[in-house]
Amino acid sequence: MGSAVAPSFANLFVYKLEKAFFLREPYLVYIKHYYRYVDDILILWEGPANLFEEMVNEANRSHSTLKFTMESSQHEINFLDINIKIDENKIYTNLYRKTMDRNNLLHRKSFHNPKTLNAIPKGQYIRARKIASTETAFNQASKELTKRFVNRGYPAGHLSKVQQEVQKLTRQDLLSPKQQKTRDTDRLTFVSKYDKRSRSIENVIKRYWPILQHDPKYGPIFSIPPRFAYKRGKTIRDILCQNTAPKNEDKVFKGTPKIGTFPCLSCICCNSIIKGAHINHPATGKEIKLSTYATCSTNYVVYVLKCPCGKLYVGKTIRSVNTRIKEHKNAIRNFKANTYTDTSVSRHFSEARHNVCQLKWKVLEVVPKMSKGGDRNNLLLQRESRWINRLDSTYPKGMNEQLNLACFL
């Protein structure tokens, strides 16, 4: 449906239509059961057939763009993926699949977690078990599913074992409401993108987990082995197709672009800028080249603060960078322990007896707007973490209190 909110809007729209056209007199008295899934409607009707057709025709005449199509039968009808049949005053259901549908089951050789690939057949057989109301219908649906899975590279022996396992489950138990299990919040979850090294990483963590369990201080935290969860890894499409479309907007510079942080000439932060297209590592002195142009008014940036003794603080802001620098300077001027002015930067300046005029700053990177969408704030957090690690600015070598990696999970 395109947008993520489209199904919700469609559901609300059809709800308004069904109240106006169907669920009203004189038709309501003949509707014994009414079921709807977004825009697919199933009605059990006990009344004149011509009145049912009149209801649908009136609904079509009442709306200029929306048209309802209908199928009716005294004995058998298909609704979504279910075949519904009435025989000797009993309702029977079976799995239904359109003849034109393609076999789009995930291929066995697709680069997915093996646990996911093994779980798909069982999920499909359980679905057939729930829908098929008789053993004969389930066997028929299982035979068709097995044929489709074999064509997609799944081993027939494994499929046979899964089918037999599901056949032992009763349909009544599967359709009964399940009690929600209490979530194991104490167990750690190791989340990563799935790739060819994931299995090796999982084995290494499992092998050396007992070392953490026997730690005298933190052992109780790691008493339960972690669960492993995987996000979708990079596909061939991700490699071949660019994440961002080329920008048509005018460039800042027509000629050779400038690199570094430049004064805006209209704020009090201009005179404390560290000039140049590079920054030196505080410990090794290695020159790190920068690649972006920024001014005091640039937003969505990762910046660095430098004190007279050479320690660095790496931060980020979505606002103009001079607004954030002013806040740092204000905290240094008005430093008071255990208040909002007590930050890692202001605390260091107070303890080292530095002056606020000695604070220097520079923009390290500008995070551009993502043309195809995405979480720009999270990307900014990731870039900040990378720069903290690259410049080794965590305490005691720098003024950052910690390196937070939660943005990568």
- Write out the chain in H/E/C secondary structure: CCCCCHHHHHHHHHHHHHHHHCCCCCCHHHEEEEEEECCEEEEEECCCHHHHHHHHHHHHHHCCCCCCCCCCCCCEEEECCEEEEEECCEEEEEECCCCCCCCCCCCCCCCCCHHHHHHHHHHHHHHHHHHCCCHHHHHHHHHHHHHHHHHCCCCHHHHHHHHHHHHCCCHHHHHCCCCCCCCCCCCCEEEEECCCCHHHHHHHHHHHHHHHHCCCCCHHHHCCCCEEEEECCCCHHHHHCCCCCCCCCCCCCCCCCCCEEECCCCCCCHHHECCCCEEECCCCCCEEECCCEEECCCCCEEEEEECCCCCEEEEEECCCHHHHHHHHHHHHHCCCCCCCCCCHHHHHHHHCCCCHHHCEEEEEEECCCCCCCCCHHHHHHHHHHHHHHHHCCECCCCCECCCCCHHHC
Mean pLDDT of 272-299: 91
pLDDT, greater one: 246 or 46: 46
In this predicted structure, what is the pLDDT of residue 98? Answer: 87
Which pLDDT band holds residue 207 (cuts at 50, 70, 90)?
Answer: very high
pLDDT at 255 over 70: no
Residue range 49-82, pLDDT digits in tens: 999 999 999 999 988 888 899 999 989 999 999 9
Residue range 309-332, pLDDT digits in tens: 999 999 999 999 999 999 999 999
Which pLDDT band holds residue 16 (cuts at 50, 70, 90)?
Answer: very high
Min mean pLDDT across 170-184, 264-278, 343-357 is at 170-184
Residue range 210-222, pLDDT digits in tens: 999 998 888 888 8
Which pLDDT band holds residue 1 (cuts at 50, 70, 90)?
Answer: low
CA dist list (Å): 13 to 6, 20, 64, 248, 304:
10, 11, 15, 38, 51
CA dist list (Å): 124 to 94, 131, 151, 167:
14, 11, 15, 12
In this predicted structure, what is the pLDDT of residue 187? Answer: 82
In this predicted structure, what is the pLDDT of residue 253? Answer: 52
Residue range 112-152, pLDDT digits in tens: 888 899 999 999 999 999 999 999 999 999 999 999 999 99
Mean pLDDT of 187-208: 90
pLDDT at 223 over 80: yes
**What rounded mean pLDDT belongs to the chain?**
89
pLDDT, greater one: 101 or 130: 130
